[in-house]
């Protein structure tokens, strides 16, 4: 995504650093700070990435004003998502886990 400064790079949250078995939130916070300080603003998570939504909530959403970053996620249609109700539940769960208030981009997949 192109940010206001014209830079194109996204911070993907599929594989995050761990401390033992858990995501290392402190390290993710440092990475987020470096990314933002470099002028990048696009973050990409997904309901299907274990722990990424909680990590981005702590490392980004709770620490930066919502209008300073762009947040994208995607529907994991291949994981227990066979009906419209399943898709809506997945969307709402992801939104609740990030506390972001809204998605800038929501990708549908199968």
Tens of pLDDT along 63-91?
Answer: 999 999 999 988 877 777 788 888 888 88
pLDDT in the model for residue 100: 94
Q: Which residues pair with 43 in a beta bridge?
A: 11, 71
Please state which architecture CATH assigns to domain 22-107.
3-Layer(aba) Sandwich (3.40)
pLDDT in the model for residue 98: 93
pLDDT in the model for residue 71: 95
Between CA 54 and CA 61, with CA 58 as vertex, the angle to 5 degrees is 100
Number of residues that this document lists for the chain: 110
- pLDDT exceeds cutoff 80 at 99: yes
Count other Cβ atoms within 10 Å, centred on residue 26: 12
Lookup: tokens for 44: 């990409």
CA R_g for the chain: 14
Q: Domain segments of the chain: what residues?
A: 22-107
Tens of pLDDT along 4-51?
Answer: 556 778 999 999 999 999 999 999 999 999 999 999 999 999 878 889
């Amino acid at each position: 995504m192109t940010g206001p400064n014209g830079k194109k790079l996204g911070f993907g949250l599929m594989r995050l650093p761990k401390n033992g078995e858990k995501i290392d939130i402190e390290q993710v916070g440092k990475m987020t700070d470096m990314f933002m300080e470099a002028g990048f603003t696009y973050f990409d998570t997904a309901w299907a990435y274990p722990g990424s939504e909680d990590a981005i909530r702590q490392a980004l959403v709770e620490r930066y004003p919502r209008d300073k970053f762009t947040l994208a996620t995607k529907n994991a249609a291949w994981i227990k998502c066979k009906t419209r109700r399943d898709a809506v539940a997945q969307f709402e769960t992801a939104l609740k886990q990030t506390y972001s208030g809204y998605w800038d981009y929501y990708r549908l997949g199968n």
